[in-house]
Structure 1
Amino acid sequence: MEWNKALLIHHLHAGKANRENTLGLVTGVLAPAIHELVVVRTDEPGEGEKLCRKRGEEFDVVFILGGDGTVHECVNGLASLQNPPQIGVLPGGTCNDFARSLGISPDAETAAQEMLAGRVIPVDVGRADDRVFTNFFGIGLISDTSQNINENLKGALGKVSYFISTLQTITRSDPFQYELEIDGERTTGEAVMIYAANGRFLGTNALPFAPDALQDGKLDVLIIHETGIPLLREVLSHKPEGEWQPRNESISYFKASTLKIKTDVPMPADTDGELYMETPAELSVLAGHLHFLTGAEE
C-alpha cells in the first residue's frame, strides 16, 4: 500500500516512555511508502482534534501514534470532515484498546508494517450528543475507575494501574437510578455501571462481543446492576462462540442503534478513557463512517 501525502500525529505526553524511539521506528517503516510525510507533535489537549479538523482533508491517510485518548481526540476532528482520510492507529498508549479491536499489533513498529501490507475497512463510530467515540461510553463504575487512576502509577505500571483502580473502586461503587430509551423503547432500573461499547476490548481484556462489533451498526450495551468481582470476571473472561447471554442476573446485555440515558442526578461519563461529558446523553451509531487501516486478516 502506498500514499501520496500522509500526516503522522504524535502527542508529547502520550503513552510509553520510549516515544521518541518509537516515532523513529514507525517513521522508518512508513516513509518509503509515502511521497510526502508530514510529522506533527501536539502539545496541548484538543490540539490534535483542531489539527485534524483543519487539515485532515489535505491527506490521503492520517496516522495517529498514541493511546486511546489521543485516538479519541483526533477522531473527533476527522469524523466531522466531509471527505475524511484513511486512518492508521499506531499503538503508543497504555492499553490501546481500540487498536486491539482493529486487530492491530500492540507493537507500533509491527503495526506500521502490517498497515503497509494490510487493508482498509469501514468502521462504525459511536456518537454521544455532539461528540464521537471509537471504543466506549460509560457511566458509574467505569467513570469512577477512571477518576481513581493514579497517573504516576499508570506511568510506572501501565495497564496494571487500571486493574488496581478497578479493585479499589468495585467495593464502594454506589448504585444509581437510570431511565433508558433503547431504540425507542423505554425502561428504568438501578445499576452501578452502564457501558455502551463500539469496540471489543477494555483494559486490554477482550469483551464477549461479536467479531463484527465495529461494523454491525449497533452498540453493545452492558448494564451491571450490582458490584462484585465475579460479575467483572464473567464479562472479562467469557469468550462466546455465538451470541453472548450473561449467566448472572445482575448483568443485562443488549444491542442498540440508539440509546438515550437519563440518571437521577447528572453523572460524569467516560468516553474512550476521557472524562468531560455527563448525563443525560443521547447515543447513536455512525455506521461505517470512517475507514481504518487494519492488520486483521480476511
Structure 2
Amino acid sequence: MRWEKAMLVYNQKAGKEKVGQLGDAVEALAGEIGELTLVQTKEPGDGEKICRERGGDYDLLLLLGGDGTIHECINGAARAERSPEIAILPGGTCNDFARTLRLPMQVGRAAEEALAGRVMDTDIGTVNGRAFTNFVGIGLITDTSENIDSEQKERMGKVSYFLSTLRTLRQAEPFRFRLTHDEGVVDSEAVMILAANGRSLGTAKLPFAEEGLHDGKLDVLIIREAGLSLAWQVLNGGDLTDYRESGGVIEYIKTSSLTIETDEPKGIDSDGEVYLQTPADISVLPSKLRFFYGPDADAEEKVAVETDSVLPGG
C-alpha cells in the first residue's frame, strides 16, 4: 500500500453518464490506497474549491474528467496549503494534458500506469492570476472553442472540434497585438497566438521538445495567416526550424513570461475555457506541482494519438 489517504475528484457528468469510468478507476486504485475519498463536483467552481480547501489533507489527489475539469481542479491545487501528488485520469473528449503526461486514454489503464510510473515536478502556467496546465490562446483558437456546438460535441466527440475549426477558418480575421517577452517585443498582426506548456492540442501532438514541461519556459507560436494546411502542418508536429526568424508567417518564441496587448479586448482560451480577456499577463511557475507520468520514456507509443487529430481542444 503506497498511500494512506487519497481523494478522487470527478465531475457530475462523469458520475452520471460514465459510471464505468469511475468503477474502473476505483478498481485499479483499491490495492494502492488505504483510505480513498470520492468527491463529486456538482456545479462550476466546485472542483477548484474542493482542491484548494481539502487537497492538502491527502497524500494523493486523483482528478477524473476532461481538460475543463482538470483546469478547474488545478487552479485549486496550485493554491492549496500543501500540494499533494496528482494523477490525471482522462474522462473527457480530448484529454490533452493526460496525453502530455503520456498516459493511456482508458481510465483504468491510466490509473494503473500512472501509479506504476514516476512522479515529476512539473511547470504550470498562469494567465492574469489563473493557473493553466496546457495552453493559453488568443484569436482563432478562442473563436474555435466558442463556436463548438455542445450537442454536437456530445454526439461526435473530438470531431466537433474539427468542424468548429472549419467554420471558424472561413471568418478568421487578423488582429493587431503587441507581445513583450524575455528577449524583446513583437508588434504585428496575427490570426492566432498560442502559449503552450503542454504537448497536445485537440489530440494533436504539438511540435515542441518533451522536456519543455520542466524548463521554466513557455513555447509561443504567432500565426499570421489562417491557411488551414499551414496551421495543420505545424500544429500536428511539423518542424519549427524554418519558423524561428521573426517576421514570417509563423514565429516561434521560448520565454518564461510574456504580456499580450490587443487594440480591442480579445477572449483568452485557457485550457479550452474562455472566461478571460486581453491584456494578458502570462508566466511560468517552475516545478509548481507534482504529476504522475506514464512509466516509460517512450510511452508515446501507448498513447492513442489518432491520425484524425484536430486543432484546438478543451
TM-score between the two structures when normalised by the length of structure 1:
0.95
Give the residue type in structure 1 aligned to 2:8: L
Q: Counterpart in 2 of 1:211?
A: 210
Give the residue type in structure 2 aligned to 1:53: R
In structure 2, distance between residues paired with 1:151 and 1:296: 35
Q: How does 1:169-188 map to 2 (within 5 A)?
A: 169-183=168-182, 185-188=184-187
Which of residues 243, 251, 255 in structure 2 aligns to 1:246? 243
Q: How does 1:277-296 map to 2 (within 5 A)?
A: 277-296=276-295
How far residue 212 of structure 1 moved from its aligned partner, in angstroms, is 0.9
Give the residue type in structure 2 aligned to 1:136: F
In structure 1, distance between residues paired with 2:244 and 2:122: 30
CA shift digits 1:108-161 (9 cap, x unpaired): 110011022111011100011210100000010000000000001101110000
Secondary structure in 2 matching 1:138 = strand
Q: Counterpart in 2 of 1:196?
A: 195
Q: 1:123, 1:288 within 8 Å by CA — same for their partners in 2? A: yes
How far residue 196 of structure 1 moved from its aligned partner, in angstroms, is 0.3
Q: 1:222, 1:254 within 8 Å by CA — same for their partners in 2? A: yes
Q: Counterpart in 2 of 1:273?
A: 272
Q: Counterpart in 2 of 1:21?
A: 20
In structure 2, distance between residues paired with 1:239 and 1:223: 15
Give the alignment's Cα RMSD to 1 decimal.
1.7
Q: Counterpart in 1 of 2:52?
A: 53
Q: How does 1:64-79 map to 2 (within 5 A)?
A: 64-79=63-78
How many aligned residue pairs are there?
295
How far residue 82 of structure 1 moved from its aligned partner, in angstroms, is 3.7
Give the residue type in structure 1 aligned to 2:5: K
Q: 1:140, 1:194 within 8 Å by CA — same for their partners in 2? A: yes
Q: Counterpart in 2 of 1:225?
A: 224
In structure 2, distance between residues paired with 1:74 and 1:217: 22
Q: Counterpart in 2 of 1:146?
A: 145
Q: Counterpart in 2 of 1:95?
A: 94
Q: 1:231, 1:251 within 8 Å by CA — same for their partners in 2? A: no
In structure 1, distance between residues paired with 2:244 and 2:258: 24
Secondary structure in 2 matching 1:212 = helix
Q: Counterpart in 1 of 2:6?
A: 6
Secondary structure in 1 matching 2:161 = helix
Secondary structure in 1 matching 2:72 = helix
**Distance 1:194-1:133 versus aligned 2 partners, 3 A rule:** same
CA shift digits 1:43-89 (9 cap, x unpaired): 10010000011101000011000011000000000001242000000
Which stretches of structure 1, 4 residues or more, deviate above 6 A after TM superposition?
none
TM-score between the two structures when normalised by the length of structure 2:
0.90
